[in-house]
């Protein structure tokens, strides 16, 4: 049983997973390795002089694993409710979690299959996005969305920030109080 299962290991899902794993929450990231970030080169991510998309994603995965987050390469096929929990069906088996974050980039097919409401996208080339509230919640209890698929501007600092925001909200719900992750300069 995972506290949080994240679908997608791009900047949005990866950043969410880093926050939840570092908060000590049992975290699984499922990714089918089709991130558009693999084609990107960044010179506009604050605090990073320049970095390739693949390097950003790989570095993110290392950060997540450092804090005990698990990452598997698989295709998520459906999400169903099982009591209070959610079951994510993949081509590598089933996984159960208390919360699921959809961070599926340009695709909303998975969430639509699971009954998550979508709406028209406003960003260039983004046809549909999940209809989320300000916290990142969808209409299906326990399913959240972050990044491109949640309608934010397609820039790594924004999609990553959105993933972090949603993760902080989930950790806060799990802890029963607002959560802050601040390390102090050693
Ligand atoms: C050519 C190009 C250049 C760019 N240049 C810049 C730039 O200079 N600066 C900048 O800030 N941004 C740039 N971007 C945009 C940036 O890459 C995006 O904002 C950001 O990567 C989107 O992050 P994301 O996590 O929302 O989506 P993604 O990175 O697409 O991640 C989504 C992940 O979900 C996975 N997934 C989807 N469905 C499933 C499923 N059913 N099961 C399992 N996994 C699934 C995908 O494989 C993918 O890994 C560029 C993009 C492109 C394409």
- Which ligand 1 atom is the nearest neighbour of the CA of 45? 11
70 has pLDDT over 90: yes
The pLDDT value recorded for residue 185 is 97
Mean pLDDT, rounded, for 166-177? 98
61 has pLDDT over 90: yes
Q: Is residue 182 part of a domain?
A: no
By alpha-carbon position, which residue is closest to atom 20 of ligand 1?
156
By alpha-carbon position, which residue is closest to atom 35 of ligand 1?
8
By alpha-carbon position, which residue is closest to atom 2 of ligand 1?
40
144 has pLDDT over 90: yes
Mean pLDDT, rounded, for 159-167? 98
- Which ligand 1 atom is the nearest neighbour of the CA of 105? 27
pLDDT-based confidence at residue 80 (cuts at 50, 70, 90) = very high
Task: Check pocket membership of 10 for ligand 1, CB cut-off 6 A.
Answer: yes
Q: Is residue 180 part of a domain?
A: no
- Which ligand 1 atom is the nearest neighbour of the CA of 162? 26
The pair of three-digit structure tokens given for residue 169, joined into one six-digit string: 């909200």
Contact 138, 78 (CB under 8 A): no
pLDDT-based confidence at residue 82 (cuts at 50, 70, 90) = confident
The pLDDT value recorded for residue 41 is 98
CATH of residue 168: 3.50.50.60
Mean pLDDT, rounded, for 88-99? 98
Find the domain containing 77 and state its range: 2-175
Q: Is residue 146 part of a domain?
A: yes
How far apart CA 28 and CA 9 sit, in angstroms, is 10
Q: How far is the CA of 176 from the centre of ligand 1 (A)?
A: 32
- Which ligand 1 atom is the nearest neighbour of the CA of 12? 25
CA distances from 40 to 17, 46, 50, 57, 63 (A): 21, 16, 11, 11, 20
CA angle 10, 164, 143 (to 5 degrees): 80
83 has pLDDT over 90: no
Q: How far is the CA of 84 from the centre of ligand 1 (A)?
A: 30
Q: Is residue 106 part of a domain?
A: yes
State the pTM of this model: 0.98
The pair of three-digit structure tokens given for residue 184, joined into one six-digit string: 């102090």
The pLDDT value recorded for residue 68 is 98
Which of 14, 3, 5 is closest to 159 using CA atoms?
14
How far apart CA 161 and CA 168 sit, in angstroms, is 10
Phi, psi of 50 (to 5 degrees): -165, 145
36 has pLDDT over 90: no
Contact 85, 98 (CB under 8 A): yes
Q: Is residue 184 part of a domain?
A: no
With a pLDDT cut of 90, the percent of the chain lying above it is 96
The residues, ordered by sequence, that sit 6+ positions from 155 with a Cβ below 8 Å of its Cβ are 44, 45
């Amino acid at each position: 049983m995972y506290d949080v299962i994240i679908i997608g290991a791009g900047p949005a899902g990866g950043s969410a997973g880093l926050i939840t794993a570092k908060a000590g929450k049992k975290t699984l990231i499922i990714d089918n390795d089709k991130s558009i970030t693999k084609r990107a080169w960044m010179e506009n991510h604050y605090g990073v002089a320049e970095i390739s998309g693949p390097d950003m994603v790989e570095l993110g995965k290392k950060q997540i694993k450092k804090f005990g987050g698990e990452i598997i390469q698989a295709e998520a096929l459906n999400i169903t409710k099982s009591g209070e929990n959610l079951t994510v069906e993949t081509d590598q088996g089933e996984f159960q979690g208390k919360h699921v974050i959809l961070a599926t980039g340009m695709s909303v097919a998975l969430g639509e299959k699971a009954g998550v409401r979508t709406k028209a996208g406003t960003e260039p080339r983004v046809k549909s996005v999940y209809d989320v509230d300000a916290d990142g919640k969808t209409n299906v209890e326990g399913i959240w969305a972050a990044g491109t698929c949640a309608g934010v501007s397609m820039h790594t600092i924004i999609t990553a920030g959105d993933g972090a925001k949603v993760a902080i909200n989930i950790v806060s719900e799990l802890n029963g109080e607002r959560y802050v992750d601040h390390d102090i300069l050693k």
